[in-house]
Structure 1
Amino acid sequence: MSSSHRDAHPYGRSADDVRRRDQRLRRTRRLRVTQLVVFSALAIALVLVGVYAFGEFRRPAEDPGEIAVGASPTAEDSALVCPQEGDTPADPADVTVRVLNGTSRSGLAGSVTEELGERGFATDKPGNTGSASGAVTIVHGPEGYLAAAAVAAQFRAGDVTPELKLDEKAEGTTVEVLLGDGYRELAAAKKAAAALKEPVAIPEGC
């Protein structure tokens, strides 16, 4: 019997053909397994990216120029520099004010900034905020209490009493004013000027 006849496959294929076919099948299976692993890894990565993106989307975004305002610490548990008995508010020329609009009234921060500039305050670029919790909130640093008192005097109009908040990270005598929906107008210039000559209230704990 010839060699070619001995190697012939029962169905008419040679042994070499069968081996090549088996090798192709094994390569195909390995390729499919590799593809399955790669696609599974990509799917897991996409799910993780989606979860992260959803979390970022739900995180509240800050407005331009927004600052977060927390409860104001007392002098006992903060770095607040306490005023002395008889101290009066700072001279407006020594105070830098930045006004932030927390209302839907377009241009409000800009117009108030202009008015404060006319009253002698140094002014910074106005902006917006989502942290206005009252009609007028005045945020100052540990060394800025007298500066904040000078600014507060400008906003005591009608039944509005500005709220002072301490930001321990703020430096110097720069003050930020957050305007809320209850804000209507500045105090009369003469009334505000007279208030600058009166002693400031001593903060709790001083």
Structure 2
Amino acid sequence: MGGQYRITGDKYPRMRRPRRRGRVVLAVVASVAVLGTAGWGTLQLIDVFSGGDGDLTSAAGSQPDCTTRPTASPAPAKALPAPRTLTVNVLNATTRQGLAKQTADELKKRGFRIGKVGNATAQYDKKVKGTGILLGPATALPVLATQLTGAESRPQADRRGTAVDLIIGDRFRALNPKAAADQALTELTAPQPTPSAQRKNC
């Protein structure tokens, strides 16, 4: 070979491929994009399986949320007198004859003691338009009230003993069925659940 391309001496020029820096940069950018997409997809999956609230700490296995909540425990039964300890005076304020005795006989079958049976006093005679009126100590009235629905209870703070008055009114038809009255009495004296000690739900 001659001219300007003639090779002289014992050394030859090294033939190298030009460096393609553009491809390297493109590959790096593509890798970062792929990793970013994969990371975003992973976060979305964690959000879905953790309930959608975005709490990644809980989804990653942190301690569960132990919230303190009140528990219900039975309260002591109410201190109410038993029917056998109550003396009921049955007084008729209506114009229907024999209603007081009929009601008194039924109450006796249900375990109540029976006191006076007859007509109501002038204060109430033919003046009670509702089912009836219950007069007596505050602790005794709820027990008798389980036997008839709609009667008005009027506690008397100065009333001594366990005697109560049942004044029968115009709307009275009959005592509650015995099964229903017994159920109401059971619920009245049964312990009621009340919030008490605190416990943790984990």
TM (norm. structure 2) is: 0.50
SS at match of 1:111: helix
SS of structure 2 residue aligned to 1:191: helix
- Answering whether residue 128 of structure 2 is matched by residue 137 of structure 1, we say no
Aligned-CA RMSD value: 2.0
Q: Over residues 92-151 of structure 1, what are the superposed CA-to-partner deviations in whole Å (9 max), with x where a residue is unaligned? A: 1011100000000011111101110000000012021241532111001xxx22321111
Q: How does 1:164-203 map to 2 (within 5 A)?
A: 164-199=153-188
Of Structure 1 and Structure 2, which has the larger fraction of its residues in strand?
2
User: Structure 1: any 5+ residue segments left out of the alignment?
Assistant: 1-83, 201-206
Q: Structure 1 residues 135 and 178, CA, compared in 2 at 3 Å: closer, same or farther?
A: same
SS in 1 for 2:78: coil
Contact 2:138/2:157, CA 8 A, preserved across alignment:
no
Q: Secondary structure at the match of 1:170?
A: coil
Q: TM-score, normalised by structure 1?
A: 0.49
Taking structure 1 as reference, are residues 138 and 105 closer, same or farther at Cα in structure 2, changes over 3 Å only?
A: same
Post-superposition Cα deviations, 1:154-196, rounded to whole Å, max 9, x if no partner, equal 012xxxx111012333211110001011000000001101111
* Larger radius of gyration between Structure 1 and Structure 2: 2
> What is the distance in 2 between the residues matched to 1:119 and 1:88?
20
2:133 alignment partner, SS class: strand
CA contact (8 A) 2:141 2:155 kept: no
Secondary structure, in 3 states, of the residue corresponding to 1:115? helix
- Matched-pair identity in %: 32
Where does structure 2 lack aligned partners over 5 or more consecutive residues? 1-74, 190-202
Q: How does 1:69-148 map to 2 (within 5 A)?
A: 86-87=77-78, 89-129=80-120, 130=122, 131=124, 132-133=127-128, 134-140=130-136, 144-148=137-141
Structure number having the greater helix percentage: 1
1:106 aligned partner, one-letter code: Q
Q: Is it true that 1:152 corresponds to 2:148 in the alignment?
A: no
> How far apart are residue 89 of structure 1 and its match?
4.3
SS of the equivalent of 1:125 reads: strand
Matches within 5 A, 1:42-53: none
Q: Within 1, Cα distance between the matches of 2:186 and 2:84? A: 15
2 CA distance for matches of 1:195 and 1:173? Answer: 20
